[in-house]
Amino acid sequence: MNNAGEFSVTTPTDRQIVMTRSFDAPRELVFEAWTKAEHVAQWWDPSGVPLTVCEIDLRVGGTFRWINIINGMESPFTGTYREIVPPERLVFSSGPESAATLIFSESSGKTTLKMILECASKEDRDALLQMRVDAGAARTLENLAAYLQQIG
Partner 1 sequence: MEMEAHTDRLSLAFAALADPTRRAILARLASGEADVSELMKPFALSQPTISKHLMVLERAGLVVRGRDAQRRPRTLVAVPLKEVADWVEPFRRFWERKLSSLDDYLKVMQKKK
Kindly tell me which of 7 and 148 has the beta carbon lying closer to partner 1.
7
- Minimum CB–partner distance for residue 137 and partner 1 (Å): 12
- Tell me the three-class secondary structure of the chain, residue by residue: CCCECCEEEECCCCCEEEEEEEECCCHHHHHHHHHCHHHHHHHCCCCCCCCCEEEECCCCCCEEEEECCCCCCCCCEEEEEEEEECCCEEEEECCCCEEEEEEEEEECCEEEEEEEEEECCHHHHHHHHCCCCCHHHHHHHHHHHHHHHHHC
Binding-site size for partner 1 (CB under 8 A) equals: 31
Q: Least CB distance from residue 61 to partner 1, whole Å?
A: 25
Binding mask 100-129 for partner 1 (x = CB under 8 A): -------------x---------x--xxxx
Selected from 44, 64, 81, 92, the binder of partner 1 by CB under 8 A is 44
Footprint on this chain of partner 1 (rule: CB under 8 A) = 4-5, 7, 9, 11, 17, 19, 21, 23-25, 29-30, 33, 39, 42-46, 48, 113, 123, 126-132, 135
